[in-house]
Amino acid sequence: MKRFISLNGKYPRSEALIRATRDHERGRIGKEELEKAYGADYDRLKSIQTGFSMVSDGLLNWQDIVRPFAYLVKEAQVGGLVRYFETNTFYRKIHFRDTTIRNDLDRWASEYFRFGNLAILPSPYTLSRFSEGISISRAGELIAAAVEYLRSNGYNYFFLQEPAIVYYEDTASLEDLGRALRSISRKAGDAMVSLNTYFADASPLIRDLLRMPVSAVGVDFTFTDIESLMEAGWNSDKGLVAGILDTQNSLMETEAVLSPVMEKIETGLRPMFLIYTGSSDFEFLPSSVADRKVEILRNLGGEI
């Protein structure tokens, strides 16, 4: 079984970049200086992922997991703040008016996908659920267009972030989600596409998730018991994106904590391939803490 490691979701900005974004907002520095600060953080991110098979830009300039899609379409309004699940963070609801894709996909992609070969995007259900005026199916088409463009520009790994479907246990929407994912996977061709769940126990929906037309499914093991996945029956040709580092707590996972989990996952679930990562976005941690957790990942062994 091949084992990899990767970042997950949005990565935290460094303290220097945080200062720069604040200074820019208050008019103390210009766009150029802000870009310089982003550049330094991108270099830092490249460096902490040295040797990784999957490299992400950490979505450093995304305001939240859905916001860039407001700028991909002809007309959408960015609305009020909504709590992001059970965290002390918030996203802004998008009100879609005209979901026709604008003609500058090129410019959009270069703004929101800065480097690497792992693209992290919202999954159709989460994008639709966090917005108004867009169906799961249309959300899937927007994401598919982005995936097609990114695939032809060197991206060969796609994480579709899908916390909402397990959090709300919305079985009624699974069929629509499956159809939307099919259109995305078609555009992704032979690239790896993972449907990443987090913030909730994945086991109640795992059989349905394993039937989805994707290469892998992501599970947050700070909410999900491995045995309940075994009981539900993992038997599948899918890979597993295993969130085994708690990204909502600064406590560093020790070998004594991680070894039994990994062993249970590898011998009990036997996924087609494994990607060890954080339980959700690393952004819930200050950057220095997140960097240390990535070091723990690096030391897990296996291919990276």
Partner 1 sequence: MRKPLLAHEIGSLAKPNWRVKAISGRPLSDEDLKEARRWGEFLDVETDELLSILGRRRNFTREEKDRIVYYSSLMAVRLLEKAGLDVVYDGEQHRVEMYEYPIKRIEGFEFYGHVRSFDNKYYRKAALVGPMKLKYPYHVEEFRRINSFARKPVKIPITGAYTLVDWSFDEYYMKDIEIGTRRGLERRKEARRQFISDMARNVIYPNLKALYDEGARVLQIDEPAATTKPAEVPDFVRGTVESVGDLRDRVFFAMHICFSDYSVLFPHIEGLQGIIHEMHFEYANRDSREPGRTERERIGYGILKELARYDFIVGLGVIDVHTDFIEPPELVRDRILYALEIVKDPERLYVAPDCGLRTRTWDVAFQKLRNMVEGRNMALREIGL
Which of 38, 52, 91, 155: binder of partner 1 (CB under 8 A)?
91
Q: Which is nearer to partner 1, 42 or 158 (CB)?
A: 42
Q: For the stretch 214-223, what's the b/e string if a residue is b when 16 or more beta carbons lie within 10 angstroms of its beta carbon? A: bbbbbbbbbb
64 part of the interface to partner 1, by CB under 8 A:
yes
- CB of 284 vs partner 1, minimal distance in Å: 6
293 part of the interface to partner 1, by CB under 8 A:
no
In the sheet with 2-5, reading across from the earlier edge strand, the strands are 2-5, 273-278, 239-245, 216-220, 192-196, 157-161, 118-122
| Residue 150 in tokens | 């990114």
Q: Which is nearer to partner 1, 2 or 22 (CB)?
A: 22
* Contacting partner 1 within 207-236 (CB under 8 A): 221-228
> Distance (Å, rounded) from C-alpha 165 to C-alpha 171?
8
196 part of the interface to partner 1, by CB under 8 A:
no
Q: Which is nearer to partner 1, 62 or 157 (CB)?
A: 62
87 part of the interface to partner 1, by CB under 8 A:
yes
266 part of the interface to partner 1, by CB under 8 A:
no
Which of 27, 31, 237, 256: binder of partner 1 (CB under 8 A)?
256
> Cα separations (Å) of 129 from 80, 139, 172, 281?
15, 10, 13, 19
27 part of the interface to partner 1, by CB under 8 A:
no
Which of 4, 7, 13, 158: binder of partner 1 (CB under 8 A)?
13
Total residues contacting partner 1 by CB under 8 A comes to 48
Q: Which is nearer to partner 1, 169 or 225 (CB)?
A: 225
Catalog residues that contact partner 1 under the rule CB under 8 A. 12-13, 15, 18, 21-22, 24-25, 63-64, 81, 83, 86-92, 221-228, 244, 246, 249-251, 253-254, 256-258, 260-261, 264-265, 283-289
